[in-house]
Amino acid sequence: MYERSYMEGTRGTMAVDWEERIDMQRLRRERKERALDRLQDSELGSMLLIDDPNVRYVTGLAMTGGSGADHYTLLTEDGHVVHWDTADHASNQRFNCPWLEDIRYACPGLGNVPRASGRASARDWLKDRMAETVHTAMEEYGVATEPMGIDVANAALVEKFEDRGVDVDTATATELMLDARKTKTRDEIECLRQVAAICEGGFQAITESAAPGTRESEVWGDAVRELWQLGAMVQGGYLTSGPNTWPKHQANTTDRVIRPGDLVYADFYNVGFIGYRSCYYRTFSVGQPTEAQRDAYERARDDLYDVLARIEPGATTDEICEGFPDEDGEHMDWYGAEEFWEMTTNHWAHGLGLQLYEVPLIWRGLSPDHPIEIEEGMTMAVETMQPADRQGVRVEEMVVVRENGVEVLSQWPVEEITRIPH
């Protein structure tokens, strides 16, 4: 395990002049440079980015959800960026985002707007107009005759570009952006460290709110309020209790009333700080945990740390996934499952960044036959679970791969279940 040095760790969430914190200008610059380096090493002359995390990675804009392809970005091999957005957003960005010099009004050719239009002719017109906005910019920046990569390969939209003589590559841009984003810069890592600290404020709120007679939804509401107050954008997550903890309830958080002896666990996933997403489980016991609950927690924790001990630069995901439980440990007989791929989400590690799932994925259902190599700077969440009688425990850590192992970014106590007295 990587040991942090003196004074290394989370600082404040605000901008100050008296110490170096997350450097937003450096964050934007280094992300764009990584994407541009991959583009320049390819045969492409430009990339059209429609997927929100890719747009944010290159532009630094707050992609917080919209009506679908009402924002898109062109990155050219010379480093020029053209961004299209909705009327209000584009006008706001022109004023507030001086690092972007060419912001235009978008025509939403994909997503909710064409879907809601009600006519095939309208949908066709919107795609044609969207393609025209991009093709015009390609001509202006001298890349219209070179191959253009696109990260959302909608066949009808691609056809509109091809009608204009554009050589569209529907695979390379996605791979280039995955490669650019798979390892993180210093500032990206600090964003993930900060969101882990914010999640711990949410866990503390749970310990103060959960009690017999409270509902899951009430406790979750208290936790989410704390996350927002600490500066997060909460776009996912849940809390569940008692028999809803194993197997995990299909509705996640419900109106179930918490009772003495319940296990409660919370998953702060898709909690964002500067766009960087968390995935962070912890388990609580309402009152003293039973022996079965303690044993299950210890198994889940030990499984998790067995995996963490295997992660280092140069290790491959097929080797690492052997640290996750086998068929018996996965309780595959109980589920009636015969293959590991049927056990999605119970035991795995997945990359973290501007999306909840980024490279790498470490999972018995996939990694043995499709291994990849772990690299320094990758960030991920590692999660395990175990049943305890008619309930279950889950535990998860957020980590970054360092030169000699992993640094654990999450710091809520993990040795034993957090007990909530009542």
What pLDDT, in 10s, does the model give residues 311-366?
Answer: 999 999 999 999 999 999 999 999 999 999 999 999 999 999 999 899 999 999 99
What is the CATH topology of the domain spanning 186-420?
A: Creatine Amidinohydrolase (3.90.230)
Structure tokens belonging to residue 152? 């959302």
% of the chain beyond a pLDDT of 90: 91
Assign a CATH topology to domain 24-181.
Creatine Amidinohydrolase; Chain A, domain 1 (3.40.350)
Q: Are 60 and 97 in contact (CB under 8 A)?
A: yes
Q: Peptide bond before 371: cis, by omega within 30 degrees of 0?
A: no
Pairwise CA distance, residues 396 & 389, whole Å: 21
Number of residues in the chain? 422
The mean per-residue pLDDT over the stretch 375-399 comes to 97
Query: Which pLDDT score is estimated for 297?
Result: 98
Residue 110's nearest CA partner among 156, 41, 49 is: 156
Domains 24-181 and 186-420 alike in fold:
no
Sorted by where each begins, the domain ranges of the chain are: 24-181, 186-420
pTM: 0.95
Q: What is the C-alpha to C-alpha distance for residues 390 and 33, in angstroms, rounded to an integer?
A: 51
CA–CA separation, 277 vs 155, rounded Å?
30
d(CA 296, CA 356): 27
Residue 52's Cβ-count burial label (10 Å; 0-12, 13-18, 19+) is buried
Segment among 13-17, 23-27, 260-264 with least mean pLDDT = 13-17
Reported confidence tier of residue 9, pLDDT bands at 50, 70, 90: confident
Per the structure block, which two tokens stand in for 28? 């934007």
Helices marked H in 241-394: 291-310, 317-320, 332-335
pLDDT in tens, 166-220: 999 999 999 999 999 999 999 999 999 999 999 999 999 999 999 999 999 999 9
Residue 84: predicted pLDDT: 97
